[in-house]
């Protein structure tokens, strides 16, 4: 069966996010001073073949832990959809 994994990787809340700070300051320069605490991460979509949704979840978890997220500095969440 084919599955799609939608993965969000974000910097840990405890760590400084220099990209988020730069975006916040740029938004303020554009007159959007009511915006605060911007965090910048990444969204990854991948298609995979698996026998079941549980197997797709397991493969996605492994991909996140081994390659897609640096667990020292980032956290991740994901959702698996069929098709």
Instruction: Judge whether residue 20 has pLDDT over 90.
Output: yes
CA atoms within 13 A on the CB side of 1: 14
What is the arithmetic mean of pLDDT over 6-32? 96
Domains in the chain: boundaries: 2-82
- The Cα 33–Cα 14 span in angstroms is 24
pLDDT tens, position by position, 38-64? 999 999 999 999 999 999 999 999 999
| Signed CA dihedral, 49, 50, 56, 61: sign only | negative
Beta partners for 6?
45, 79
Two tokens, residue 35: 């915006």
What is the model's pTM?
0.88
Fold for domain 2-82?
Mth169; Chain: A , (3.30.1280)
Above pLDDT 90, what percent of the chain? Answer: 99
What pLDDT does 70 receive? 97
């Amino acid at each position: 069966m084919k599955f799609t994994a939608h993965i969000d990787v974000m910097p840990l809340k405890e760590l400084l996010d220099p990209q988020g700070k730069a975006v916040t300051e740029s938004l303020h320069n554009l007159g959007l001073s009511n915006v605060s605490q911007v965090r910048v991460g990444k969204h990854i979509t991948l298609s995979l073949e698996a026998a079941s949704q549980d197997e797709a979840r397991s493969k996605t978890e492994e991909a996140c832990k081994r390659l897609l997220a640096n667990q020292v500095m980032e956290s991740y969440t994901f959702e698996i959809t069929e098709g």
